Amino acid sequence: MNIFTGIAFVFLAPLLGGLVAGFDRKISARLQGRIGPPLFQPFYDVGKLLQKENLVVRKSQRLYMEFFLVLIILTGAIFFSGGDLLLVIFAFTMAGVFFALGGYKASSPYSFIGAQREVLQMMSYEPAVMLAAVGMYMVTGSFQVADIVAYPQPLIFKLPGLFLAFFFILPIKFRKSPFDLATSHHAHQELVKGITTEFSGRTLALIEIAHWYEYIFVLGIGYLFFASNVWLGLVMTLVIFELLLVVDNATARVRWQAMLGSAWVVALIAGGLNIIYLMLLRG
């Protein structure tokens, strides 16, 4: 991992992320007994959004989403060039903050509630992500992504609890059921469209592209758990994604209290036990 993989991320992630999104819609449709849209549907959607009129409530709301996109790209670029995992998490949180601020700025009741829920979602996934970083450090002795990838064994054997906690919060990041509270791709009739209600045209296209970057980055974290072998890593990342889609189609949305509570409980119990185990192992 070096600066070139980071640059490759900047250019390839939107293509790959769009494909992931298309794959997602296709598989979801199949799980529901439908044929589903073409694989390239997300690209058509964004292409269309670029041709539409851009309605705004406030001119500045677009700026926040531009920051969101830039910070997501930065996050992924640091991650894929093998940088510091803590810095990555920090940049990722910043990106999320700008996304939520954009929702607040649009100041419609729907996007306002969506933004509040986005903040709650961020609170829900932070502990699991932080603990995962700590666990990876305890095993490999480094916060550098490059060193974590270079570790000879798959990390999953040492970090099963943290992996569970990570998988549990994955639906939040992919905006999937049961934790698709802020905005979702499937329930098209709730809270209008949550945080993205007031965004249309080019700005919405921008948000979609940012989500594609986000997808690849989050799958990249999943890859870290199996990183000792490239093929094992890629196959397992696909398996994780498939499982996520099954969960998405098999569950209903929960209230935010349940999301926050369960995400923290799983992170603290499964992740906490895992960390205690690592301490004993060292001790």
Partner 1 sequence: MGMLSRSPWVIHYDGSSCNGCDIEVLAALMPRFDVERFGVVNTGNPKHADIFLLTGSINEQNKPVVLNIYNQMPEPKVVLAVGICATSGGIFRECYNVLGGADKVLPVDVYVPGCSVRPEAIIDAVVKGVGILEEKRAALRNNLKSAVSQA
Please state the closest distance from residue 197 (CB atom) to partner 1, in A. 6
Please state the closest distance from residue 104 (CB atom) to partner 1, in A. 17
32 vs 107 by CB, closer to partner 1 = 32
Q: Is 230 helix (H, G, I), strand (E, B) or coil?
A: helix
76 vs 114 by CB, closer to partner 1 = 114
Please state the closest distance from residue 27 (CB atom) to partner 1, in A. 13
Please state the closest distance from residue 3 (CB atom) to partner 1, in A. 34
Please state the closest distance from residue 190 (CB atom) to partner 1, in A. 7
38 vs 141 by CB, closer to partner 1 = 38
What is the distance between the alpha carbons of residues 81 and 4, in angstroms, rounded to a whole number? 7
What is the distance between the alpha carbons of residues 38 and 42, in angstroms, rounded to a whole number? 9
| Site residues for partner 1 per CB under 8 A | 25, 29, 32-38, 41, 44-45, 47-48, 50-55, 188-190, 192-193, 196-201, 204
24 vs 126 by CB, closer to partner 1 = 24
Residue 283: both structure tokens together: 């001790």
Please state the closest distance from residue 248 (CB atom) to partner 1, in A. 16
Q: Is 84 helix (H, G, I), strand (E, B) or coil?
A: strand
Q: Please report where in the chains the tokens 């996304």 appear, as a residue.
A: 99
205 vs 224 by CB, closer to partner 1 = 205
Q: Residue 227: in which H helix or E strand, if any? A: none
Geometric angle at alpha carbon 134, from 229 and 152, rounded to 5°: 25
Please state the closest distance from residue 47 (CB atom) to partner 1, in A. 3
177 vs 197 by CB, closer to partner 1 = 197
Backbone angles phi, psi at 84, to 5 degrees: -80, 125
Please choose, from the candidates 195, 189, 231, 224, the residue with its C-alpha nearest in 3D space to the C-alpha of residue 211. 195
Please choose, from the candidates 126, 133, 232, 244, the residue with its C-alpha nearest in 3D space to the C-alpha of residue 178. 244
What is the distance between the alpha carbons of residues 70 and 189, in angstroms, rounded to a whole number? 30
43 vs 92 by CB, closer to partner 1 = 43
Residue 122: both structure tokens together: 């961020």
Q: Are 145 and 100 in contact (CB under 8 A)?
A: no
What is the distance between the alpha carbons of residues 259 and 35, in angstroms, rounded to a whole number? 31
